[in-house]
Amino acid sequence: MYFAVIGTHVRGKSASPAMHNASFKALGVNAVYIAVDVPREELPCFLKLARLNLRGFNVTIPHKEEVVKHLDGVAADARAIGAVNTVLVERNLLVGYNTDASAVYQLAGSHMRGADVLIVGAGGAARAALFAAIKAEARAVYIANRTYERAEALAREFAEKFKREVKAVRSPVKADVVVNATPVYDAMVADLSGASLYVDFAYIPTPRTKMVEEAQRLGIKVVDGVDLLVEQGAQAEKIWLGVEPDRTVMKRAVLEFLGI
């Protein structure tokens, strides 16, 4: 069986191949996982090949939203989110899921319940975090993005869809839970004072992003990019293989890949 992660600039940079190949070995599964660089214009072509050659694949920047248009089926939560990061290939049909959202909910949902949540970003990862916050019954959710219009459109879409309070803000506000749903790792993207939890999707080139270091300095609980990568990856393997993988094995492989 063959699996992959697709995106731009993922070959040699994504830790997913190391993580999943270590997990497959521990599970005794005869499978190989690779990273494939797929430019935007080549996504339809890749998907035609995937139908015949892969058992499943992960989707990362910039394809999480665009890929939805090309799938044969999409799980209800992924369709509501408007983004897919995990695809199962079954009888040559492509079925999409969103394990990013379930990973955020699993690791941060208890902190989001009844809390003010700030999400930085407006792409596929932000959509997953936003869905998790709404599912966790956050008191209010704020979206900040470099392009305010994108934040505003996303806030309006989810507020109308779920009948919950979601607001776009022109600059990050203070919140109980702060989520960085962007690849930014070397800059401060929000004020963490007063927060109880910080969640970071970024793990390349290091999970010790500038924001993670600030959260640790302030004594704030952290769910870093490695934590999220492992949890979404474990849930992806459950979809592909119907097994519960060893997250310790997966995390160890990611840390070794990152040289930590």
Say whether 139 counts as a known binding-site residue.
no
Say whether 150 counts as a known binding-site residue.
yes
Is residue 60 within 8 A of residue 7, CB to CB? The reply is: yes
Say whether 145 counts as a known binding-site residue.
yes
What is the end-to-end Cα distance of the chain in Å, rounded?
Answer: 30
Say whether 190 counts as a known binding-site residue.
no
Is residue 88 within 8 A of residue 95, CB to CB? The reply is: yes
Say whether 149 counts as a known binding-site residue.
yes
Say whether 16 counts as a known binding-site residue.
yes
Say whether 144 counts as a known binding-site residue.
no
Phi, psi of 31 (to 5 degrees): -150, 155
Say whether 147 counts as a known binding-site residue.
yes
**Catalytic site residue 161?**
no
- Looking at the chain, list the stretches that DSSP marks H as alpha helix, in order from N- to C-terminal side: 16-27, 43-53, 76-81, 99-112, 124-135, 148-162, 210-217, 225-241, 247-257
Say whether 124 counts as a known binding-site residue.
yes
* C-alpha dist (Å) from residue 222 to 30, 139, 166, 192: 35, 20, 23, 11
Which one from 13, 25, 48, 64 is the annotated catalytic residue? 64
Residues constituting the chain: 260
- For 59, other C-beta atoms within 10 Å of its C-beta total 26
Instruction: Output the known binding site for NADP(+).
Output: 121-125, 145-150, 201, 225
Report, as residue numbers or ranges, the catalytic residues.
Answer: 64
Instruction: Output the known binding site.
Output: 14-16, 60, 85, 100, 121-125, 145-150, 201, 203, 225
Instruction: Output the known binding site for shikimate.
Output: 14-16, 60, 85, 100, 203
